[in-house]
Amino acid sequence: MTTEQTTCKQCGTCCKQGGPALHSQDLDLIRSGRIPVSSLITIRKGELVHNPLAKRIQPVSVELVKLVGKKRQWECCFYDDTQGCTVYKDRPYACRVLKCWDIGEISALMEKDTLSRFDILDKDDPLITLIREHERICPCDDLGYLQSHLSHLSGEQKNELERRVQSDLKFRARVTVDFQLKVSEELFYFGRPLFQLLQPLGVNLTESSSGFRLIWGK
């Protein structure tokens, strides 16, 4: 006879699949430093992510700020194989709401009342101007379009994307020096570099004597 699950066993399976997006209920955790900015990553509007409800990769409809993963994995940075959640008392709202045996409540929370960089940063933070500049020179709101039209893109569309990737890299090189940003801070302020967002589409970056170029195709 199987017993129906009614409580969290703290098995960590959900934590290994990735850190949660943060919600307005988490603002105090960030402001008080209990969840430091260095543990956050921004998923910009339009980035392609795995939607567990739709069970497919699709663009996010709003900007999200999530707990970052470990190295190149999505496993939550606060998960430890021996101790489990190392911030259990201060875990984000989505972690408190998640019941893997009944996903109704967590599903209703998806992309609702989420925090963006602008909710987290002080209004007079000098990096706000740079975030806006970055969004202007390197938007990523067309990744869904690129995903569905990849094999039909014109040469000019490919060139434009390559120029955008180059501008993104140049921008990051400048601001990380000017503001002495660590990689973890860069991931919060500007999200992942555009070339990384293109890799799941089979578009890769290469460096030659003439600079950075995109290689199309798997």
Quick check: 8 binds ligand SF4 (CB under 6 A)?
yes
Rounded (5°) CA angle 70-145-136 = 70
Footprint of ligand SF4 on residues 12-31 (CB under 6 A)?
Answer: 12-15, 19-20
Report which secondary-structure segment, H or E, holds 198.
helix 194-198
CA 183 to chain centre: 14
Least distance to ligand SF4, CB of residue 10, Å: 5
Q: For ligand SF4, which residue of 43, 64, 65, 67 counts as binding (CB under 6 A)?
A: 67
Least distance to ligand SF4, CB of residue 169, Å: 30
Q: For ligand SF4, which residue of 27, 29, 57, 85 counts as binding (CB under 6 A)?
A: 85
Least distance to ligand SF4, CB of residue 172, Å: 27
> 109 vs 36, 96, 114, 179, CA distance in Å?
23, 12, 8, 35
Pick from 185, 27, 19, 26: nearest CA to 86:
19
Positions in the binding site for ligand SF4 (CB under 6 A): 8-15, 19-20, 67, 76, 78-79, 85, 87, 91-92, 95, 98, 100
